[in-house]
Amino acid sequence: MSLTFEPVYIMNNNQFSYHITKYFSEYLPSVKGVSNKTIQSYRDTFVIFLDYIHEVYKLNINKLSIHDIDEIIIEKFLECLENNRKNSISTRNQRLAALHSFYRYLQKRELSCYDLCSRILSIPNKKAPTKTISYFSVDEITKLINMPNTKTKDGFRDYTLLLFMYETAARAQEVADLKVNQLILGENSSVILTGKGNKSRRIPITNELSQTLDKYIKTFHITEDEIIFKNRRNEKLTTKGIEYILYKYIKNCKATYPKQFKNHYSNHSMRHSRAMHLLESGINLIYIRDILGHSSVVTTEIYAKTNAIIKEKQIREHSKNLQVKERYSENQKADLLKYLKNLK
């Protein structure tokens, strides 16, 4: 089932199709400025949801009123996700977040369903089991980054990619989207990354990464507005392609160093590792959150008062010779890990 509605000559404000069309075509991309990936995720949720309504309640989607759906239907849908579709609690919560986003939008535009929206918005997330955060030691990161054979074209690309992922703590999508014109190479090198919500952040990088990127760009004649990391067909690497490269070298490391790399790693492990290493090296948590592009309302207020020059100086100094010291107690480390569990 696709998220499309039959054309109608007059759409009144009680029609579900009217509001869902406005929500996806105007509100999300233009007003909220969310990423295409988020829009697709929300769209997938509504495809599943509307299919459920049609199948279970025999409602005609194209004639659906905004008052036909209430909190009971949505709660039953969430139960279906877990019990019938065997979705995890995390996936269930993600689907609910998409529905909540739409009903927050609707609540501000249709006073007639204000109370209905309030009841739907009161449906809580389920508490998921505590996640285990896995991160590489500094020694493991060094071995992982140096695993590719840099004498080959693919190996040089993979070395550059892994080094970039670790140093910048970039998300896979940010790495996939990276273009030459986002780099500022030379003295005090940095990169401009655009993350969730189209928010940009400037991240200082070391001379090693700066020189590696410069050599890589010149070797493969990559132009100013070109994507940096490509596959063998000279096409943009997808996030799946980046994950494949990461997992390939993790697998190689496990085989080469059987006494290390014992944890179960995810595509976020490079971000987690960079964050943990900087934390353990004494970098201010506020600066790290800034690098990761993962801020809350409270930290946003603090960022506004942060001196960018001091922040960059601290990060550069600690990145030059990253030495992890056992300066935290087990309880303090547990607090750090608790923070990292929320990073995406």
pLDDT of residue 32: 87
Do 228 and 199 reside in the same domain of the chain?
yes
Do the beta carbons of residue 141 and residue 166 sit within 8 Å? yes
pLDDT over 60 (residue 213): yes
pLDDT tens-digit readout, 80-125: 999 999 999 989 999 999 999 999 999 999 988 999 999 999 999 9
pLDDT of residue 83: 95
Q: What is the mean pLDDT of residues 296-318?
A: 48
Higher pLDDT, 157 or 309: 157
Do 93 and 218 reside in the same domain of the chain?
no
306 confidence band (pLDDT: 50, 70, 90): very low
304 confidence band (pLDDT: 50, 70, 90): very low
Write the CATH number for 307.
Answer: 1.10.443.10
Do 85 and 143 reside in the same domain of the chain?
no
With respect to residue 9, please indicate whether it lies within any of the assigned structural domains: no
Do 154 and 290 reside in the same domain of the chain?
yes
Domain that holds residue 52: 16-121
With respect to residue 331, please indicate whether it lies within any of the assigned structural domains: yes
Q: What is the mean pLDDT of residues 127-143?
A: 83
- Residue 221 per-residue DSSP state: T
pLDDT tens-digit readout, 123-134: 999 987 766 677
Q: What is the mean pLDDT of residues 197-209?
A: 87
Do 322 and 279 reside in the same domain of the chain?
yes
- How would DSSP label each residue in 2-19? -S-----S---TTBHHHH
Higher pLDDT, 305 or 37: 37
With respect to residue 4, please indicate whether it lies within any of the assigned structural domains: no
Kind and range of the H or E element at 316? helix 308-320
Do 27 and 59 reside in the same domain of the chain?
yes
Taking alpha carbons only, the member of 278, 284, 312 closest to residue 187 is: 312
Residue 170 CB partners (closer than 8 Å, separation 6+) = 164, 178, 193, 271
Average pLDDT of the residues of the chain: 83
Lowest model confidence (mean pLDDT) among 30-39, 139-148, 235-244: 30-39
Do 221 and 321 reside in the same domain of the chain?
yes
d(CA 234, CA 250): 24
**Percentage above 90 pLDDT, the chain:** 56
Do 286 and 163 reside in the same domain of the chain?
yes
With respect to residue 8, please indicate whether it lies within any of the assigned structural domains: no
Do 173 and 254 reside in the same domain of the chain?
yes
Residues forming beta bridges with residue 338, ordered by sequence position: none
- Residue 196 per-residue DSSP state: G
Do 143 and 264 reside in the same domain of the chain?
yes
With respect to residue 130, please indicate whether it lies within any of the assigned structural domains: no
Q: What is the mean pLDDT of residues 71-80?
A: 96
Do 65 and 199 reside in the same domain of the chain?
no
Collapse the DSSP code of 62 into the 3-class scheme (helix H, G, I; strand E, B; otherwise coil) and give the result: helix
pLDDT over 70 (residue 326): no
Taking CA atoms, 57 is separated from 60, 69, 123, in Å, by 9, 10, 20
Q: What is the mean pLDDT of residues 20-31?
A: 92
Higher pLDDT, 292 or 115: 115
With respect to residue 99, please indicate whether it lies within any of the assigned structural domains: yes
Write the CATH number for 86.
Answer: 1.10.150
pLDDT of residue 180: 94
pLDDT of residue 82: 94
Final residue of a domain: which of 86, 121, 156? 121
- Domain count across the chain: 2
Do 189 and 330 reside in the same domain of the chain?
yes
User: pTM above the 0.85 mark?
Assistant: no
Q: What is the mean pLDDT of residues 310-337?
A: 55
With respect to residue 78, please indicate whether it lies within any of the assigned structural domains: yes
Helices (H), the chain: 16-22, 36-57, 71-83, 89-109, 114-121, 138-145, 153-168, 172-176, 207-219, 239-256, 269-280, 285-292, 297-303, 308-320, 330-340
Final residue of a domain: which of 70, 86, 121? 121
Final residue of a domain: which of 121, 149, 178? 121
With respect to residue 55, please indicate whether it lies within any of the assigned structural domains: yes
Collapse the DSSP code of 230 into the 3-class scheme (helix H, G, I; strand E, B; otherwise coil) and give the result: strand
